[in-house]
Amino acid sequence: MPFKRLAVPRPASRVLRLTFPFMVTILCLWVLQDRVALPSLGDLEALLREVPMINWAGALAATFVSFWALGRYDSVAHRHLATGLDGPRARKAGVAAIALSQTVGFGLVSGSYARWRLLPGLTPLQSVQLTTFVAMTFLAALAAVCGLACLSGAAGPAMQWIGALILLGVAAATLLSFVFPEVPLGKRRFQLPSLTAMAALGVWTLIDVAAAGTALWLLLPGTLEISWPLLLSAYFLALGAAVISSAPGGVGPFELALVALLPMAGGEELMAGILAFRLVYYALPALLAGLAISLSKVLEEEEEADTAPAAEGHKLPHDRPRSETAVIRQNGGDVIGCGTSRVAVLDSPQASIALFDPVAGCAAPALKPLQRRAKGRNAAACFYKCSARTTLKARTKGWQVLRIAEEAVLDPQNYSDDGSARRQLRRKLRQAEKKGLEVRPAAEHLPLEQMADVDAAWQGSHGRALGTTMGRFEPAYLMGQRVFLGWKDNKIIAFASFHESAGEWCLDLMRILPGAPDGTGHSLVRAAIEAARTEGITRLSLAAAPDHRLAPRIDKGLRRFKTCFAPHWEPLYMAAPNWWQMTVSAAELIRLVHRPPRLKQANFDATPAATRSHPHNEDEENEFAIARRA
């Protein structure tokens, strides 16, 4: 593929870009010299002796905590970029890279080089991507921390409004990243961090900067009486100024910002504390990182065995307990092996969602592997629309459970239209029959063009079709289902499709032309019940209806339609390891259903062989159906 030639920067602009950070440092130090009397070497030594040894030890411990948090930051980055290298070695390489880059500056170059040198298996491109991800997300997380510091009032009442605006901006950006998880850039699309990743990055950033600020507070001379909360707030803002300036180690902007934010502090004492902080937090970690890189010391080969299960390319078994699991043929899902169980999983930007009950085995062996899979993607984990049996297994493992829906179930072998409970159904069927509606099972070669017209007219009347956990019109998808057609005046005016497995059918798509006879949908389902009875099917599901407080307002007649058949209602649940993951997964499912992504084929061929890749002749199908009516 040809690439456009990139414009080479002019020498002057290149020099300016390289020298700008040093110019910022010099300017800030010049301003600082006019505002603060810097201590002499003798005074500096005396001031540093005032710091007790226990404070030096505490500062070293706080520095360790700060870099420990930074190592976890790299773990989030590796999971997001799916390098497959997340583990202790990757975290240590990240710590060394940050220790070196924050001191020598030019973070993209120095940080990328350190990660590439210390982490075997990492390509130069991945190293640059990791460093860029860490830098950009740290800036975003630090902005939120600085917003909190401004809102606390430590920088003055006027800064509270700025803090509120910063936090509103962060919240808006977070919401937009959830609604639009991918950003197009040319012909490529880049996935933004998930909510789980953002939460983790925020926590690790807060621990990092709080520990670093604590180290600075412990190293201040005893003559300075500055409270820990005030020092932390000032440190957060000064660090933000240092990072934005791009000055090597933040030298200059950091000191100038602290002096401005702490006017009550003596200049000599504050500068002595900052120097001690730079020795402990910058110089010592950078020295250790430099030694590791120069000696090419490979960090311990400790790889976490607790990794996510890889998709094993299982086919969707025909004897699965829930035929509806076949919806993964449209949403890019996969069937993964979890010990003795197999689960249909949909990986979305925010969650790893196990759809329905396991397709083989029970849920208990799948819970931990599903959690590991989600953790390896910075995502939440959940079971969606699972039965009471799966819910019980999840609850015993400490998962949180929420009842979300009820499934309407019939037994075709014992079904009858008789009885007062189905009086409304009989009336609907008679109305449709009087209007000339006839329902027949579709032949092997589906009349896809006419069905597409019906689907388009239905969407024009009802709005865009829901998706992800519900089927959408797509020829290859329908060819793997059982389809029933509604005819009137030699024209297809409606159709319904059913997932099928060895012992169950489940209603999926139902499309009806506007103006079709009342009772058309009822007739389609009634024909499917009769066909299922003939084929010995013992369970026919009309799919689920919402079961929560808002259900009556958003139901729009769905439950009323299914109630006409007097089905048996079975509760369906959602289960997640904790309420955070439950909330994220529920929000993600709502987004996926109402804003479904483009159709994706499953990661395996799930179409039954009997209905795959047949030539299609719509005229032949129409003649066949008309002949059957005659």
- DSSP for 118-146, written as a single string: HSTT--HHHHHHHHHHHHHHHHHHHHHHH
For residue 298, give the nearest of 91, 118, 75, 123 by alpha carbon.
118
For residue 470, give the nearest of 452, 497, 448, 451 by alpha carbon.
497
Judge whether 358 lies within some domain.
no
Q: What is the domain extent for residue 501?
A: 408-570+619-629
Distance CA 567, CA 410 (A): 5
pLDDT (tens digit, 9 = 90+) per residue, 242-279?
888 777 777 778 888 888 888 777 677 888 888 899 89
For residue 40, give the nearest of 220, 253, 223, 271 by alpha carbon.
271
Structural domains of the chain, count: 2
* In a shared domain, residues 412 and 290: no
Out of 294, 318, 343, a domain closes at 294
Out of 270, 294, 318, a domain closes at 294
* Amino acid of residue 281: Y
Q: Which two tokens stand for residue 569?
A: 């209602």
Predicted confidence at residue 625, as pLDDT, reads: 42
* In a shared domain, residues 281 and 412: no
DSSP H or E stretch at residue 275: helix 267-277
* In a shared domain, residues 289 and 418: no
Locate tokens 């597409």: which residue?
Answer: 452
Predicted confidence at residue 552, as pLDDT, reads: 57
pLDDT (tens digit, 9 = 90+) per residue, 567-615?
999 999 999 999 999 999 999 999 999 998 888 765 554 444 334 333 3
Mean pLDDT of the region 77-94: 89
pLDDT at 554 over 80: no
Helix (H, G, I), strand (E, B) or coil at 615: coil
pLDDT at 310 over 60: no
Judge whether 99 lies within some domain.
yes
Judge whether 323 lies within some domain.
no
Higher pLDDT, 500 or 557: 500
Higher pLDDT, 313 or 254: 254
Which segments of 36-106 does DSSP mark as H helices, in order? 41-49, 53-81, 88-104
- DSSP for 535-554, written as a single string: TT--EEEEEEEE-STTHHHH
* In a shared domain, residues 90 and 223: yes
Out of 279, 294, 309, a domain closes at 294
Q: Which two tokens stand for residue 376?
A: 């390896």
* In a shared domain, residues 72 and 214: yes
Q: What is the dihedral of CA 353, 358, 360, 361, to 10 degrees?
A: 120
Predicted confidence at residue 240, as pLDDT, reads: 85
Judge whether 133 lies within some domain.
yes
Across the chain, what does the average pLDDT equal? 84
Distance CA 37, CA 399 (A): 60
Judge whether 141 lies within some domain.
yes
Judge whether 349 lies within some domain.
no
Burial 31-55 (b: 16+ CB within 10 A, else e): ebeeebeebeeeebeebbeebeeeb
CATH (domain of 519): 3.40.630.30
What band does 621 get if pLDDT is binned at 50, 70 and 90?
very low
Mean pLDDT of the region 92-118: 86
pLDDT at 627 over 50: no
Close Cβ partners of 284 (under 8 Å, ≥ 6 residues apart)? 63
Mean pLDDT of the region 229-233: 88
